[in-house]
Structure 1
Amino acid sequence: MAAKPSERLAELGYSLPEVVRPLAAYLPAKRVGELVYTAGQLPVRDGALLATGKVGAAVSPGDAAELARICALNALAAVDSIVGIDQIVQVVKVVGFVASAPGFNGQPGVVNGASELLGEIFGEAGAHARSAVGVSELPLDAPVEVELIVEVR
């Protein structure tokens, strides 16, 4: 029998953080039927934004990919707060936004940080559709933002 997502997280050395408080008038996650949609999650840990600036200038693509992993963990925490991470049947879609310096076009590699983490946690059920979008600005000058859509029991 495959390990539960919560067990797999622990095996990988991760734990879910506290749900990041919304910056404005929205919910961190919302369930609609068998889907949970998360708000865009920034690379916040213990209430602090871990980096600022544009990827390809102030933030390296490798560092941004690690930040995308943190965003994905924050999104999973938002899902967990509604239904519990072990109720996730599959990851349906990931949308990653990358604050990009002029000429930077490595957004897919950055968002791979989130995608690869989801694959490590959920295996085949972590395979998902995805968008990796370069933008000029993100809230609080964050370098990356990730949102998820997951199917739940």
Structure 2
Amino acid sequence: MSFEAKLAELGIELPPVAPPVAAYVPAVVTGSYVYTSGQLPFVAGALPTTGKVGDTAELVSADDAKAFARTAVLNALAAVRAEIGSLDRVTRIVKLVGFVASDPAFTGQPGVINGASELLGEIFGDAGRHARSAVGVAVLPLDSPVELELVVEFA
């Protein structure tokens, strides 16, 4: 099954490529790799929520942040598709870098970024197995709870 067909089977429609919020492009191709810029969990051009992730009521929950990581990786895949024409050209998801705006006491960044990693596995199977970093940071652009970058190999 093609990766584009797998998206359809999963009921996923990639969003339009999110326009840059500063002086950069959403993705760059060099050789047989696509490098995405940091992708936020924009939905229809807006962040669904803002703030730090943590374990208290006034913070973004880890479960919500995991869902935002899933949204952000869909935005990254939209940027990849815009550069190479079709996700069927993907041969490997090489690396995922995930940033989580974290309360100082929060240590669940890997679980948050699993929202993106698990979806990549669902879509790409073995080609979606990737190297990864899950990093806690003090703040992200626009006060987003998560931000993701992908490195994707294609043919």
Task: Please identify runs of 4+ aligned residues in structure 1 that moved more than 3 A.
Answer: none
Aligned residues, how many?
151
Distance across 2 between alignment mates of 1:51 and 1:34: 35
1:1-153 equivalent positions in 2, closer than 5 A: 3-56=1-54, 57=56, 58-83=59-84, 84-153=86-155
> TM-score, length-normalised on structure 2?
0.96
Cα RMSD between the aligned structures? 0.7
How big is each residue's C-alpha offset from its partner over 1:93-142, in whole Å with a ceiling of 9 and x where there is no partner?
00000000121000000000000000000000000000000000000000
Distance across 1 between alignment mates of 2:11 and 2:31: 31
Shift of 1:86: 1.3
Which amino acid counterpart does residue 46 of structure 1 have in structure 2? A
Identity percentage of aligned residues: 61
Which amino acid counterpart does residue 118 of structure 1 have in structure 2? L
> TM-score, length-normalised on structure 1?
0.97
Distance across 1 between alignment mates of 2:129 and 2:32: 17
1:49 counterpart SS class:
coil
2:88 counterpart SS class:
helix
Contact residue 43 and residue 51 of structure 1 kept, 8 A: no
Distance across 1 between alignment mates of 2:9 and 2:66: 21
Which has the larger displacement, 18-27 or 48-57?
Answer: 48-57
Which amino acid counterpart does residue 101 of structure 2 have in structure 1? A
Distance across 2 between alignment mates of 1:141 and 1:33: 34
Shift of 1:46: 0.8
Structure 2 unaligned regions, length at least 5: none
